[in-house]
Amino acid sequence: METNKPFLTVENITVRLRDQLFLKNSFWQIRSDQHWAILGPNGSGKSTLVRSLWGGVPLQSGHIVYDFASHQMEPQLIPQKDEIGYVSFELQQSLMEHEAFQEDLREYAGRTEEVTTARDVIFSGILANRTITPVDEERFLKVVDHLGIQYLLQKSIGSLSTGEVRKTLIARALIKSPRLLILDEPFDGLDERSRATLAESINRLMTGPMRVILVVHRLEEIVLNITHVLLVKEGQLFMQGPKDEILTSENISRLYGFNLHLERTNRGFRVSYGSEKSDKIDTSVVYEESLQDVPEVLIEMKDTTVQYDDLIVLDRLNWSMRRGENWAILGTNGSGKSTIVKLILGDNLQGYANQVMLFGKRKGSGEILWEIKRHIGAVSSELQVQHRKKMSAYDVITSGFYDSIGLYRYPTPKQKKIVDGWIELLKIGDISNQPYHQLSYGQKRMILLARAMVKSPPLLIMDEPCHGLDISNRRRILRIIEMIGGTPTQLLYVTNHRDEIPNCITHVMRLHKGKVLSQGRKEDIL
**Binding positions for other proteins, rule: CB under 8 A:** 54-56, 81, 84-86, 91, 94-95, 97-98, 104, 107-108, 110, 112-113, 124-125, 127-128, 173, 182, 308-309, 346, 348-353, 364, 366-369, 399, 402-406, 408
Q: How far is CA 79 from CA 75, 179, 184, in A?
A: 12, 12, 18
Number of C-beta neighbours around residue 197 at 10 A = 14
Decide whether 369 or 517 has the Cβ nearer to other proteins: 369
Question: How many angstroms separate the CA atoms of 451 and 448, rounded?
Answer: 5
Q: List % helix, strand, coil for the chain (3-state, nearest 5).
A: 35, 25, 35
In the chain, the N- to C-terminal Cα span, in Å, equals 50
Question: How many angstroms separate the CA atoms of 493 and 4, rounded?
Answer: 47
Decide whether 55 or 268 has the Cβ nearer to other proteins: 55
Decide whether 151 or 370 has the Cβ nearer to other proteins: 370
CB of 395 to other proteins, least distance (A): 13
Decide whether 100 or 285 has the Cβ nearer to other proteins: 100
Nearest to 39 by CA among 243, 180, 206, 339: 243
CB of 308 to other proteins, least distance (A): 6
Q: Are 477 and 449 in contact (CB under 8 A)?
A: yes
Q: What is the CA radius of gyration of the chain?
A: 24
Q: Are 339 and 304 in contact (CB under 8 A)?
A: no
Decide whether 389 or 417 has the Cβ nearer to other proteins: 389
CB of 66 to other proteins, least distance (A): 13
CB of 326 to other proteins, least distance (A): 28
Number of C-beta neighbours around residue 462 at 10 A = 24
| 3 state SS of 325 | coil
Query: Could you tell me how many residues make up the chain?
Result: 526
CB of 350 to other proteins, least distance (A): 4
Decide whether 262 or 405 has the Cβ nearer to other proteins: 405
CB of 80 to other proteins, least distance (A): 9
CB of 133 to other proteins, least distance (A): 18
Decide whether 180 or 298 has the Cβ nearer to other proteins: 180
